[in-house]
Amino acid sequence: MSREMEGRVCLVTGASQGIGESIALRLAEEGCNLVLGSRRQEACERTAQAARELGVDALAVELDVSSMSSVQEAVESANAHFEEIDFLVNNAGIARDNLLVRLSPEAWAETMQTNLMGVYHCTKAVLRSMLRQRHGRVVSISSVVGLLGNPGQTAYAASKAGIHGFTKSLAREVASRNITVNAVAPGYISTEMTAGLPDEARERLLEQIPLERLGTGADVAGVVRFLLSEEAAYITGQVISVDGGMNM
């Protein structure tokens, strides 16, 4: 079977675990070479090893998306190893939840710096070469919470809604250079981020999900793979919900 993304290179942020790891391995199945980054390089190395076993070249890098200099260093290492980066998946993210009356300025700032500034830093670091190549794909992982809101998640929701505005604006900026920019808005996905939900909260949550289950990393990874593929060449500036029907 031919592997559609053979020879392409994708930078996936937050690839040490969870959704980022699922995306990385799904792209490896398509033959896509990978640059896998997060603050824990050794954990990304585990994902990279699993990707190599699927027959692709994978480089694990230390990457803190909240810092422009860290992102630049990681992209320089990537460029030294691979000639160019074709695709960027902005997946790294954190949640620091609290009701607004109790939410500290530090928690607000940390959320914004990682989830929204992180997308700015990483996209800026790879965009110039995509513009030169006249092709490229950017997919950012936002959240259903950025579309619907959620009590206790003002900072998280604002950061994810910010990704939607960023996506639509950049899509318009770079469309003429054959670069597409989209966001995927997952609902509740079984990862470490949702592992701490108390049983009662999980029950209440399931009542809001028409498909009556939490999503999996694979549910999200399949849509990201599609948005990076040739079949999605005419899709840009979109926010695609992968949420079991929560937002309809």
Task: Please give the positions annotated as active site.
Answer: 156
Cβ(185)–Cβ(133) below 8 Å: no
**Residue 204 CB: number of other CB atoms within 10 A?**
11
Token readout for 121 is 């830093």
* The binder of ligand NDP chosen from 16, 111, 182, 238 (CB under 6 A): 16
Put the strands of the sheet holding 179-186 in their side by side order.
58-62, 33-38, 9-13, 87-90, 136-141, 179-186, 239-242
CA distance 15 to 17: 6
Cβ(223)–Cβ(184) below 8 Å: yes
19 contributes a contact to ligand NDP by CB under 6 A: yes
Stretch that binds ligand NDP, among 76-84, 86-94, 167-175, 221-229 (CB under 6 A): 86-94
108 contributes a contact to ligand NDP by CB under 6 A: no
Stretch that binds ligand NDP, among 15-23, 123-131, 175-183, 223-231 (CB under 6 A): 15-23
CA distance 17 to 86: 22
122 contributes a contact to ligand NDP by CB under 6 A: no
Binding mask 141-170 for ligand NDP (x = CB under 6 A): x-x---------------------------
The least CB distance from residue 179 to ligand NDP, in Å, is 21
Given the complex with ligand NDP, which of 123 and 191 has the nearer CB atom?
A: 191
- Of 43-62, which residues contact ligand NDP (CB under 6 A)? 43
* The binder of ligand NDP chosen from 34, 93, 137, 244 (CB under 6 A): 93
Stretch that binds ligand NDP, among 74-82, 92-100, 205-213, 222-230 (CB under 6 A): 92-100
136 contributes a contact to ligand NDP by CB under 6 A: no
* The binder of ligand NDP chosen from 3, 40, 46, 135 (CB under 6 A): 40
Stretch that binds ligand NDP, among 9-17, 48-56, 129-137, 200-208 (CB under 6 A): 9-17
Token readout for 55 is 């027959």
Residue 100 contacts by C-beta under 8 Å, 6 or more apart in sequence? 154
Backbone φ and ψ for 87, nearest 5 degrees, come out as: -130, 145
38 contributes a contact to ligand NDP by CB under 6 A: yes
- How far is the CA of 13 from the CAs of 41, 152, 219, in angstroms? 11, 25, 18
**Residue 83 CB: number of other CB atoms within 10 A?**
11
Token readout for 8 is 């392409």
Q: Applying CB under 6 A, which residues contact ligand NDP?
A: 13-14, 16-20, 38-40, 43, 63-66, 91-94, 114, 141, 143, 186, 188-189, 191-194
